[in-house]
C-alpha cells in the first residue's frame, strides 16, 4: 500500500490546479498505484482507467468543475475522476455494497454530471446539457469523453449529426485506444488509423489560411469561399475529416499521456466558436504490464494478484460452456452463425471466432444492428445466435419486435449475465429481459439452471423453435445440484 503523498491531499479539482507541473508525473504514478491496489481487491475495470490517467488530470486542470460539465461515455473509465473529486478516502469501497459506484452517479457527487453505464450515450447527453446551459445563459463548457469503441454505436453518430449546428462551448474528446472490450472492428476504426498517421492535418489547415490571408485583394475572399464550400475543392485543400463534415472542428491526434500537450489542446479547444472534436490517442492498461499486454482481460476483472496479474480465483462459467456448446453444434451444422456486439471474450465466443471465422460476426457496439442483421441472416436460411449481456439486450427491443417477431424469423438470443449480476450496480443488472421478452408474441424463453440444461436449451432453441428463442443464463458457474435434479429439452 502506497503512502499517496500527493493523491491523499486532493479533495477537489482546485487542488489539482494548484499542483506544480513537475509534480504531475508523481501524481499520475500514485493514481495508477491506487487503481491497481483497489481493483486487485474489489475487481473492476482496470485497463480503461489506467489509460486515461493523464487525460483526466489535464481535464481537471483545464476546466472549472463542477461549473463546467464532464460526461463520461459508459463511465467505466471514471475512477481517476472519482479520486480527484474528493472520493479518495472512500475509494476502498469501490463497487461494494453501500460504497462508491464503479460508474458515474449524480447522487454520489456534484462532479458527476450524468449517470452512465451503457455505451455511446455521452455526446447526446452532453449536447442536451450544453443546450440547457445556453437556454439559461450559462456560458460554461460541456465535455463528452467517448472511446473509439463506443463510437461504433449509432447513437454517437446521431448525436454528432445533431450537435454539429451548435455554436460553442461544446467539446467531444475521442479517446482512441484502438479497443473497446475486444479489439475494435469495422470501418470506423480503420478510418481512425488513417487519421492517426496524418498528424499534419491541423497544421496544413492553419498554414493554408495563413498563406491565403497574405494575398492582396483575393486571398481573404478565397479563404472564406473555401470554408463555406461543400465541394471537392474544399476537401482537396483542407483535407477534411469525417468530423469536420459533421460540423466539428477537428484537433489531433494528441498524445493522451502528455499532460502539457493535452492542456494546450484543451485550452485551444475552449477558444473555438464551434463544436470541437479533440482526438486523443492513449494506451489501454498503461503503467501495469499485465494490463498493457492483455488489455481485454483487464478491461473488467475480478480479484487478482498484483505481482503476477493472475486471477485469485477462476472457475468454469456459463459463458464458456455456451461458447463450447455452440462450437460443437456449429461443427456439424454449417448454417449456425454467431454474432456479438464487441463482446467476443465476455460472451464466450473467442473459440468460435477462431474455428468458425467465416460464420462469426462482431458488429461493434451496435446491439440494434446485431438483431436486425441476425434477421437478415435468418431470412436466407441461416441459424443466427446473438450472444449478448442481458443489460445490453434492452437496446434492441424495437428490433426484436419489428424485425424478428413480427416477421416470424427464427433467431436465437443467448442472454448472458441474466438476473442479478453483482458489483457493477443497477446499470448492469440483467433483470428486465424476462418482462421485456414476455411482452412480445412468438418468443420462447429458456432459463437453464445448470450446464446440462444450457446445452439442452440451446439445442432446442436452434432446432425446435421456429420464431425468436431466448436462452438466458447467469454470470459465473454452477451452484449446488441435487442428485435427482433434471433438465430436459423441448421437442
Q: Which residues are catalytic?
A: 284, 367, 395
267 is written with which cell numbers?
A: 485550452
315 is written with which cell numbers?
A: 472457475
- Nearest-angstrom CA–CA distance, 112 and 94: 15
User: Which residue, among 476, 481, 417, 471, has the nearest Cα to 447 in the 3D structure?
Assistant: 471
The pairing of strands 249-255 and 276-281 is: parallel
Q: What are phi and psi of 429, to 5 degrees?
A: -75, 140
Neighbours of 485 (CB within 10 A): 11
Q: How many Cα atoms within 13 Å fall on the side-chain side of residue 43?
A: 14
373 is written with which cell numbers?
A: 442483421
Q: Quick one: CA torsion of 338, 342, 348, 351, rounded to 10 degrees?
A: 70
Q: What are phi and psi of 42, to 5 degrees?
A: -105, -15
R_g over Cα of the chain: 24
Give the distance from CA 94 to its chain's centroid. 20
Question: Contact at 8 Å (CB) between 408 and 441?
Answer: no
Question: Contact at 8 Å (CB) between 83 and 34?
Answer: yes
Give the distance from CA 381 to its chain's centroid. 33
Give the distance from CA 311 to its chain's centroid. 23
The DSSP call for residue 409 is -
CA geometry: angle 399, 402, 404, nearest 5 deg: 75
Three-state secondary structure call for residue 68: coil
| Helix axes 219-228 and 201-213, enclosed angle (nearest 10) | 140
- Nearest-angstrom CA–CA distance, 74 and 428: 11
User: Which residue, among 250, 261, 262, has the nearest Cα to 56 in the 3D structure?
Assistant: 262
The DSSP call for residue 247 is T
Q: Mark residue 169 as left, alpha or beta (left: phi above 0; alpha: psi -120 to 50; beta: remaining).
A: left
Question: Contact at 8 Å (CB) between 411 and 378?
Answer: yes
Amino acid at each position: 500500500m502506497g503512502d499517496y503523498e500527493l493523491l491523499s491531499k486532493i479533495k477537489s479539482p482546485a487542488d489539482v490546479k494548484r499542483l506544480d507541473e513537475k509534480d504531475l508525473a508523481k501524481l499520475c504514478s500514485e493514481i495508477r498505484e491506487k487503481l491497481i491496489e483497489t481493483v486487485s481487491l474489489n475487481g473492476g475495470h482496470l485497463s480503461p482507467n489506467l489509460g486515461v490517467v493523464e487525460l483526466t488530470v489535464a481535464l481537471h486542470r483545464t476546466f472549472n468543475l463542477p461549473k463546467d460539465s464532464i460526461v463520461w461515455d459508459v463511465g467505466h473509465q471514471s475512477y481517476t475522476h472519482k479520486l480527484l473529486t474528493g472520493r479518495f478516502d472512500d475509494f476502498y469501497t469501490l463497487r461494494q455494497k453501500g460504497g462508491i459506484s464503479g460508474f458515474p452517479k449524480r447522487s454520489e457527487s456534484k462532479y458527476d454530471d450524468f449517470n452512465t453505464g451503457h455505451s455511446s450515450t455521452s455526446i447526446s447527453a452532453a449536447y442536451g446539457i450544453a443546450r440547457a446551459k445556453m437556454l439559461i445563459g450559462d456560458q460554461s463548457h460541456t465535455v463528452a469523453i467517448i472511446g473509439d469503441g463506443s463510437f461504433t454505436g449509432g447513437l454517437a453518430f446521431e448525436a454528432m449529426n445533431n450537435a454539429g449546428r451548435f455554436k460553442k462551448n461544446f467539446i467531444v474528446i475521442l479517446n482512441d485506444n484502438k479497443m473497446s472490450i475486444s479489439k475494435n472492428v469495422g470501418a470506423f476504426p480503420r478510418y481512425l488509423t488513417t487519421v492517426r498517421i496524418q498528424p499534419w492535418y491541423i497544421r496544413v489547415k492553419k498554414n493554408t489560411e495563413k498563406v491565403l490571408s497574405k494575398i492582396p485583394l483575393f486571398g481573404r475572399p478565397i479563404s472564406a469561399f473555401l470554408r463555406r464550400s461543400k465541394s471537392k475543392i474544399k476537401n482537396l485543400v483542407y483535407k477534411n475529416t469525417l468530423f469536420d463534415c459533421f460540423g466539428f472542428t477537428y484537433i489531433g491526434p494528441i498524445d493522451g499521456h502528455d499532460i502539457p500537450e493535452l492542456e494546450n489542446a484543451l485550452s485551444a479547444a475552449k477558444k473555438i466558436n464551434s463544436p470541437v472534436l479533440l482526438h486523443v490517442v492513449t494506451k489501454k492498461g498503461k503503467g501495469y504490464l499485465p494490463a498493457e499486454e492483455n488489455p481485454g482481460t483487464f478491461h473488467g476483472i475480478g480479484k487478482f494478484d498484483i505481482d503476477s496479474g493472475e486471477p485469485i480465483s477462476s472457475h468454469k462459467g456459463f459463458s464458456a460452456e455456451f461458447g463450447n456448446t455452440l462450437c460443437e453444434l456449429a461443427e456439424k451444422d454449417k448454417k449456425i452463425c454467431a454474432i456479438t456486439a464487441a463482446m467476443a471474450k465476455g460472451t464466450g465466443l473467442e473459440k468460435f471466432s477462431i474455428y468458425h471465422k467465416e460464420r462469426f460476426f462482431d458488429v461493434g457496439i451496435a446491439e440494434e444492428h446485431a438483431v436486425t442483421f441476425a434477421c437478415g441472416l435468418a431470412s436466407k436460411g441461416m441459424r443466427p445466435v446473438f450472444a449478448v449481456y442481458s443489460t445490453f439486450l434492452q437496446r434492441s427491443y424495437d428490433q426484436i419486435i419489428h424485425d424478428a417477431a413480427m416477421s416470424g424469423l427464427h433467431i436465437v438470443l443467448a442472454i448472458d449475465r441474466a438476473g442479478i449480476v453483482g458489483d457493477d450496480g443497477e446499470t448492469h443488472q440483467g433483470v428486465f429481459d424476462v418482462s421485456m421478452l414476455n411482452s412480445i408474441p412468438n418468443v420462447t424463453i429458456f432459463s437453464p439452471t445448470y450446464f446440462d440444461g444450457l446445452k439442452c436449451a440451446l439445442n432446442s432453441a436452434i432446432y425446435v423453435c421456429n420464431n425468436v428463442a431466448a436462452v438466458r443464463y447467469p454470470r459465473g458457474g454452477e451452484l449446488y445440484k441435487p442428485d435427482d435434479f433434471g433438465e430436459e429439452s423441448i421437442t
